């Protein structure tokens, strides 16, 4: 009898619930539920709708029941850095504020005044971004100290959903590492850092590794859903799960392509050298105690906003098609400039940036989209060159994974500007990596190497060569 696992993968713009099972040595996927995820304004803050998202998770479980699928386990991954705080009664103290909220403006610089940037990087190895959890908490400590005083539990988003499912509170390693509060070498909460910042240590829980079985569903949920299953920790950071499913590992850099683009390599130890600090690379936790040495770069958020600003008149495919008809590299913007994080109007912000830098100002939908795609490709090229400089070696291949790998124009652009072979796929990389961790925990798959071999054989991977189109590739085992 086949073993079914249920992956809950919630990104910054949408969520999906996918059932996976192994048949004839290949991983087969069935999508059972898909839903939107939006930031909403609650008072003065931009927030996530955690209550609604949990209802969507339950709805997906119910759909499994209706389809006659009985998952053995469920695993949840989401975006990183955001969290909730619970009081002594396990009630929410605040809404779940989004990392895009401006409450952390200027906070990072205040932290540097009491804990140097160099020491912070040496201890945590984490990339400096103004919305990291450490700055969100310090903002609370400075502006709403009474909230932190009442807080008894700190849970990141997937951990909060796990608590609602099981009643068990635990922090998971890959997501915890993104907070910039975990020591890169001990893989534990950095107590000395918290002491200096006045952040209470007792609200944090033990850090658990991916593949940990948290426990069964709470009895009341079993009764409500008419189903029971184990809750297993995948890499709860969505990029951590996505990297598990990157099948082209030998001599390859990965790009996890979605709302954000994560560009990096897997490494057995953290790299906290000065050059990595200068280039703002991060050492986030991965499965099996690996590190994801990567740069967090702007991704398809820009084109998502462009599409929205055009009142959804064009599909993503239509924007890419129009962009392809335009003259390339007429205007390049720094996609990682904070001005593009949450502008009032992305199109106008791009045009203003081009005007300020003396470049051709894109005006048509095709020109605006071309500017975005060209700028992303140039940004990726810069990150790839920095990785090669730090590792003092040339990487021959790039594996683009996640939803963004469906953008054939961007894949070809990446191949052209980097001069490297680009392998695109799998598309549902995060859910696949989530499922792989569950299957290993259940003993259905031996280890990560075996999982990657299975993934490579199970899903389409397209190849793009510099200055040429895509072509079929020969299947081979992961080395």
5-238 and 246-425+446-479: identical CATH topology: yes
Q: How far is CA 270 from CA 175, 186, 255, 294, 467, in A?
A: 16, 11, 19, 11, 35
> What is the phi/psi pair of residue 21, to 5°?
-150, 155
Picking from 336, 333, 269, 266, the residue whose alpha carbon sits closest to that of residue 296 is: 336
pLDDT at 468: 52
What is the structure's pLDDT at 224? 97
Residue 143: Cβ-neighbour burial (10 angstroms; 0-12, 13-18, 19+): exposed
Q: How far apart are CA 442 and CA 446, in angstroms?
A: 9
Asked if 454 and 477 touch (Cβ cutoff 8 Å), the reply is no
CATH homologous superfamily of 5-238: ATPase, nucleotide binding domain (3.30.420.40)
Across the chain, what does the average pLDDT equal?
94
Where do the structural domains in the chain lie, given as residue ranges?
Answer: 5-238, 246-425+446-479
> In which residue ranges of the chain is pLDDT below 50?
469-479
> Taking the C-alpha atoms of 383, 385, 389 and 393 in order, what is their torsion angle to the nearest 10 degrees?
120
CATH code at 246-425+446-479 = 3.30.420.40
Separation of alpha carbons 22 and 27, rounded Å: 5
Q: Give the pLDDT of residue 1.
A: 65
From the candidates 77, 82, 238, 374, which is the catalytic residue?
238
Per-residue pLDDT of 28-48, as tens digits, reads: 999 999 999 999 999 999 999
- The pTM (predicted TM-score) of the whole model is 0.90
Closest CA to 173 of 160, 163, 183, 161: 183
Which neighbouring-strand residues pair with 26? 23
- pLDDT for residue 165: 98
The whole-angstrom distance between residue 418's C-alpha and the CA centroid of its chain comes to 23
Question: Is 238 annotated in the active site?
Answer: yes
């Amino acid at each position: 009898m086949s073993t079914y696992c249920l992956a809950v993968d919630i990104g910054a713009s949408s969520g999906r619930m996918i059932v996976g099972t192994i048949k004839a040595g290949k991983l087969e996927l069935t999508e059972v539920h898909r839903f939107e995820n939006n930031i909403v304004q609650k008072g003065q803050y931009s927030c996530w709708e955690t209550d609604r998202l949990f209802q969507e998770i339950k709805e997906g479980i119910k759909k499994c029941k209706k389809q006659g699928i009985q998952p053995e386990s469920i695993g949840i991954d989401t975006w990183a850095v955001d969290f909730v705080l619970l009081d002594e009664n396990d009630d929410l103290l605040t809404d779940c504020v989004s990392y895009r909220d401006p409450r952390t403006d200027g906070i990072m610089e205040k932290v540097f005044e009491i804990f140097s940037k160099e020491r912070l990087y040496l201890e945590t190895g984490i990339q400096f971004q103004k919305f990291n959890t450490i700055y969100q908490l310090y903002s609370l400590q400075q502006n709403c100290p009474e909230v932190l005083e009442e807080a008894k539990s700190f849970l990141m988003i997937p951990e909060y959903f796990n608590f609602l499912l099981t009643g068990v509170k635990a922090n998971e390693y890959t997501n915890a590492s993104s907070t910039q509060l975990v020591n890169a070498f001990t893989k534990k909460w950095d107590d000395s850092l918290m002491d200096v910042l006045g952040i209470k240590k007792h609200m944090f829980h033990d850090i658990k590794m991916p593949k940990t079985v948290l426990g069964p569903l709470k009895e009341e949920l079993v009764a409500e859903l008419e189903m029971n299953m184990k809750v297993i920790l995948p890499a709860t950071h969505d990029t951590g799960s996505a990297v598990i499913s990157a099948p082209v590992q030998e001599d390859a850099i990965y790009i996890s392509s979605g709302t954000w683009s994560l560009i990096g390599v897997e490494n057995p130890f953290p790299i906290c050298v000065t050059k990595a600090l200068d280039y703002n690379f991060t050492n986030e936790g991965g499965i099996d105690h690996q590190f994801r040495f990567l740069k967090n770069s702007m991704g398809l958020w820009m084109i998502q906003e462009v599409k929205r600003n055009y009142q959804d008149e064009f599909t993503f495919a239509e924007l890419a098609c129009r962009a392809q008809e335009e003259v390339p590299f007429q205007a390049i913007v720094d996609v990682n400039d904070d001005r593009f994080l949450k502008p009032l109007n992305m199109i106008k912000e791009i045009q203003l940036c081009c005007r300020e830098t003396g470049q051709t100002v894109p005006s048509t939908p095709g020109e605006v989209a071309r500017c975005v795609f060209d700028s992303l490709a140039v940004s990726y090229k810069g990150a790839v060159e920095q990785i090669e400089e730090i590792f003092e070696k040339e990487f021959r291949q790039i594996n683009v994974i996640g939803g963004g790998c469906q953008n054939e124009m961007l894949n070809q652009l990446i191949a052209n500007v980097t001069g490297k072979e680009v392998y695109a796929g799998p598309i549902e990389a995060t859910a696949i990596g989530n499922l792989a961790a569950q299957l290993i925990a259940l003993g259905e798959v031996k280890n990560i190497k075996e999982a990657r071999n299975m993934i490579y054989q199970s899903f389409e991977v397209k190849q793009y060569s510099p200055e040429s189109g895509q072509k079929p590739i020969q299947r081979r085992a992961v080395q």
